[in-house]
Structure formats: structure tokens, C-alpha cells
Chain A
Amino acid sequence: KQEVTQIPAALSVPEGENLVLNCSFTDSAIYNLQWFRQDPGKGLTSLLLIQSSQREQTSGRLNASLDKSSGRSTLYIAASQPGDSATYLCAVRQAGSYQLTFGKGTKLSVIP
């Protein structure tokens, strides 16, 4: 059974700092990995999708990497802003499955 872990559970950084969020998964037979952002009381917003054959994806200040063999992904946020404050969730889709398995998220606070 796939398990997804996100460390740390919470992170507080000053504005302008670059930061890395971590995601690990136990079964490397994944189809893709998706990073989401969730604001309090809201739905999830898709940030980046990485296919199993890819090593990284970039969108603006965000860069996600994937090392499938070691079961790890990182989300890099450059020049953090207070508006980046949210919970960031990592989810993996197994090959041949419709199901996404989610981590419990990292709650990020960017202090002005």
C-alpha cells in the first residue's frame, strides 16, 4: 500500500527566503506526482504535475523535482511572499490506478 509522507508538518520563514518542501513515497511504481496548494477552508489548487518519466517541472517561482527510484519529490519556492502562506500537499498516482494517495501536507507561513 502506497504511503506518502511530508516533512515538516509546519514551516515558518521570513519573506524573501527560498525554501524546500519535501515529499516521500514508499512505492516507486508511480504514474505521476502532483503538488497542490490549499488555503484555509478552500479546495485544492493544482500547482505542478510531474510525470514518472520527468525529473522536474517549473512554474514561475515554483520548481518541483522527482527522484522516482528513491521515492522523493521536492517543491522549491523561490523568494517567498506572504501570499505563499498555505498548506502544500503532495499526491502520487500509482501506475494503473485512478486513485491519488495524498500526504498530510506542510503548512507554510511566510512572515512579512
Chain B
Amino acid sequence: SQTIHQWPATLVQPVGSPLSLECTVEGTSNPNLYWYRQAAGRGLQLLFYSVGIGQISSEVPQNLSASRPQDRQFILSSKKLLLSDSGFYLCAWNRQDSFYEQYFGPGTRLTVT
């Protein structure tokens, strides 16, 4: 069976500090990978997606970036955090088949102070 991991689970960072959130998927190969942000009172917002190693597409221009150094690893980064970066960050994956059912990780709660 497939499992998706995210860490850390919770993070409190000061404004201007760097960020690195990691997501890994087990039990599958060549998945599509996604980063979403869920802010209080708002819906889920797609930030980045990747269909292969080194292939990153950005949906929302901002001070965040994503990388996919390995097939099942997806990293979300920032050089300098803003207060508005606070939120719940979710990683998701789906198989590259005809159904594209998406599965989500447990999330990382980021608070920028």
C-alpha cells in the first residue's frame, strides 16, 4: 500500500527566516506530486505540482519555491518567510493513470511570527 509522509508536523518560524518542508511517498513510483496551502477561512490553494523529477509547475507567484530531487520526494522552500505564509501545508499525490484520484498527507502547520 501507499503512504505519504510530511515533516515537520508543526513549525513556528520568525518573519524573514528560511523554510523547508518535506514530503515523501512510499509504495508507488513516478507519482504526480502537489503542494497545497489551506489558510483559515479559505479553501485549499494549489501552490506547485510536479509530474516528474526536476519538473515543477507553479500555480501562484509568491516567495515560495518547490523542488523534486528524487522521484518520491517533494520539497517546499522559502528564503525569507512572510507573515502571510502562515497556514496549513498539505502534500498530495496521484498515480499517473486514467483516474487521478488524489491522496493527501497529514499536513504541516506553519506559524510565522
Interface of A is mostly: strand
Interface of B is mostly: strand
Across the interface, A42 reaches (CB within 8 A) one of B34, B100, B106, namely: B106
Q: Roughly how many angstroms separate A43 CA and B100 CA in the complex, as a whole number?
A: 18
Across the interface, B49 reaches (CB within 8 A) one of A34, A45, A46, A98, namely: A98
Distance from A75 Cβ to chain B, minimum over Cβ atoms (Å): 16
Residues A92-112 near B (CB distance < 8 A):
93, 98-100, 102-105
State whether B51 touches A98 (Cβ < 8 A): yes
Q: Which residues of B lie under 8 Å from residue A89 when comparing CB positions?
A: 44
Q: Which residues of A lie under 8 Å from residue B99 when comparing CB positions?
A: 32, 49, 51
Chain B residue with Cβ nearest A31: B100
State whether A102 touches B109 (Cβ < 8 A): no
Distance from A45 Cβ to chain B, minimum over Cβ atoms (Å): 7
State whether B46 touches A100 (Cβ < 8 A): yes
State whether B59 touches A49 (Cβ < 8 A): no
State whether B104 touches A43 (Cβ < 8 A): yes
Q: How many B residues are at the interface, by size bracket?
A: 20 to 34
Q: Quick check: is A60 within 8 A (CB to CB) of the other chain?
A: no
State whether A34 touches B51 (Cβ < 8 A): no
Q: How many A residues are at the interface, by size bracket?
A: 20 to 34
Known contacts A44-B90, A98-B32, A98-B49: does B104 contact A49 (CB below 8 Å)?
no
State whether A104 touches B42 (Cβ < 8 A): yes
Across the interface, A43 reaches (CB within 8 A) one of B32, B49, B59, B90, namely: B90
Chain A residue with Cβ nearest B107: A43
Distance from B98 Cβ to chain A, minimum over Cβ atoms (Å): 9
Contacts A36-B104, A91-B102, A100-B44 known; 16 new A-B pairs at CB < 8 A: A4-B43, A32-B100, A34-B101, A41-B109, A42-B106, A42-B107, A43-B106, A44-B104, A46-B101, A49-B101, A91-B44, A93-B100, A99-B49, A100-B46, A103-B43, A104-B43
